[in-house]
Amino acid sequence: MDTAGEAAVREFVRPAAVAEMPPAILDIMGWDADLAKRAGVPTYPCLIDRDHVVAELYGIVNVPTAIWIDEAGRIVRPPEPAGSSDGFRAMDPTTLAMPAEAAADGKLRRRIYVEALRDWVAKGARSVHALSPDDVLRRMAGPTRSAALADAHFRVGAHLHHRGKPDAARPHLEEAVRLRPESWSFHRQAIVLSDPALTGQIAATPEYWQAVTSLGDAHYYAPIEMQGMPPPFRRTGS
């Protein structure tokens, strides 16, 4: 949501303590009580990337996304969901209620991912979760022509929106979504910028949920290739 600037992200950059969030939100986020108590609220400067430069350079298409970079500036793990999975798709969008199996799966994945990160911090290159340069390259898909064109349309749309020309911006934002449908960052940003009242709000509109539902068996979050991580979540009976 960075395109709208500080007004859009203020409450997310300096949130209340994670442990104080409603249980339903913690279930959706995959935080169990222990991890929530240990989570810290940032006290350091946080970048508001209004032009989505970081996402464009690293190929980030969704949030949350993690990239592991070592002290030498080498990518150790390329962009991947930070312990998130498609379990949230089992949520009731009206009540935010999560089925027990989906909530448990999300918490398990989040804990596995956090523990893997801690293992890397402690062991560095000796960690089983630190990938070799060849594995990093294998997992990093270079930009396609369609993705590059989508980025260009998004950049033009964001520029026009900043210049106070939302009607001129809208076709470019919509074209970015069409060219790169896997970029949920584009989806959400296009929704938020379509209505000033949505600034600072989660893009959980009917339009957003319709797009998620239309995925069918396709993934919203790409499965994480990590030792100990379970197979992609599937609802019982689905």
pLDDT at 48: 84
pLDDT at 142: 80
pLDDT at 119: 97
pLDDT at 123: 97
The count of other CB atoms within 10 Å of the CB of residue 140 is: 12
pLDDT at 150: 96
Mean pLDDT by 10 residues, the chain (238 residues): 77 70 80 82 82 90 94 96 91 87 93 96 97 94 90 94 92 96 91 82 82 91 94 71
**Is the CA virtual torsion 180, 184, 187, 189 positive or negative?**
negative
pLDDT at 51: 84
pLDDT at 74: 96
Ordered by start, the domain boundaries in the chain are 2-139, 145-213
3-state secondary structure of 229: coil
Would you mind telling me the total number of residues written for the chain in this entry?
A: 238
pLDDT at 176: 96
Residues 186 and 177 sit within 8 Å (Cβ to Cβ): yes
pLDDT at 105: 93
pLDDT at 68: 97
- Both tokens of 35, joined, read 């991890």
3-state secondary structure of 16: coil
pLDDT at 15: 66
Q: What is the largest CA-CA distance in the chain?
A: 53
- Both tokens of 68, joined, read 């592991």
**Segment holding 77, helix H or strand E:** strand 75-81
3-state secondary structure of 121: helix
Distances (CA, A) of 87 to 27, 110, 139: 10, 12, 23
The count of other CB atoms within 10 Å of the CB of residue 236 is: 8
pLDDT at 25: 78
